[in-house]
Amino acid sequence: MFVNIFPKNLLGLIRLLNPRHRFQAVMLPIMALGEYQQICSNIPAKLHSLNKQELSEATSFKLEKRQKEWLTGRVCAKTAFIQYHNKFAQNDRLFTPREILIGNAASGRPLLQVQNAQTPLKVDLSISHGADFGVALVAETQCGIDIQRSQDTLLRVREKFCWPEEEEVLCKNFGDLSELMHLTLLWTAKEAAKKALSSERMPGFLELILTQAEAHTNGWQLSFLISSRYFDNYPLTIDVGIELYDGYAIAFCILPK
């Protein structure tokens, strides 16, 4: 129904950094409600991504931008889960998109459930969107994904998410990129890491300290030290994979089993 355009290079990096993990990533162009409905008009109703309640929620947004982001994020998430299930499930159960519900856990994280089921599905979900694309990542352990367009506002708020020592690491390892692109990579990587860690408490940007950046054929691996005075349940370090795509940075983080 929808063509997954998630970058192949980034898929390769996810597999490289997480060889023992099961996951599925989906990326779609941002779509308006009218575009979605036009696509759905040509396929059976059981294959439509949104059920009646979700379709009603989509139409309730006053801002078209917010409506597009919400709708595309939901379609990405459901597509990612169904593709994940079809690849890795140990049973013959088949899901239709309208059976899959996306709620929120107590921590605010997106939560996948099946309609009328009493327990959540045993996978984790992360959703993100930019002006042009929506992305979703489904994995068997806690995960986070983020997409961020490079924009000048990051220069004005750099002190809120970037330590001076991190700028040194960025300049050393990304010397061929602009200062703005350094900050775009750092912001996006930290957002993905924050989402992966947010099941109990989402850390602040400055609690994640970039210590190392390693180039791979398909992108970069950024390593962070987690420093928090208020929460002891974080791992000591965390790794994030990241790539540049069409003016955006896309980052992912999948926690160890």
**Closest by Cα among 134, 143, 88, 87 to 112:** 143
Same domain, 138 and 248: no
Final residue before a domain boundary, out of 142, 161, 187: 142
Beta-strand pair 133-139/23-29:
antiparallel
Q: What percent of the chain has pLDDT over 90?
A: 79
Low-confidence ranges of the chain (pLDDT < 50): none
pLDDT number for residue 243: 96
Domain at 170, CATH number? 3.90.470
The predicted-structure confidence for 160-192, as pLDDT tens digits, reads as follows 999 999 999 999 999 899 999 999 999 999 999
Looking at the fold, whether 127 and 58 belong to one and the same domain comes out as yes
Q: Please give the tally of structural domains in the chain.
A: 2
The pLDDT tens digits for 4-38 are 999 999 999 999 999 999 999 999 999 999 999 99
Sheet of 248-254: strand order equals 143-149, 248-254, 237-245, 219-226, 208-216
Q: Which pLDDT score, from 0 to 100, does residue 118 have? A: 67
Domain around 86: 8-142
- Yes or no: say if 235 and 11 are a contact pair by the CB < 8 Å rule: no
Query: What's residue 74's pLDDT?
Result: 96
**pLDDT score of 171:** 93
Domain boundary among the residues 107, 142, 177 is at: 142
| Residues 18 and 43 placed together within one structural domain of the fold | yes
Residue 12 domain-assigned (yes or no): yes
Beta strands in 3-48 (DSSP E): 23-29
Do the Cβ atoms of 218 and 16 come closer than 8 Å? yes
Both 28 and 126 in a single domain? yes
- 1 found inside a domain: no
Residue 23 lies inside a defined structural domain of this protein? yes
Domain CATH code at residue 21 = 3.90.470.20
Using CA atoms, how far residue 91 sits from 50, 63, 64, in Å, is 24, 41, 40
For the full predicted model, state whether its pTM sits above 0.85. yes
Two tokens at 80? Answer: 């990612």
Q: Would you say the C-alpha torsion 216, 151, 127, 161 has a positive or negative sign? A: positive
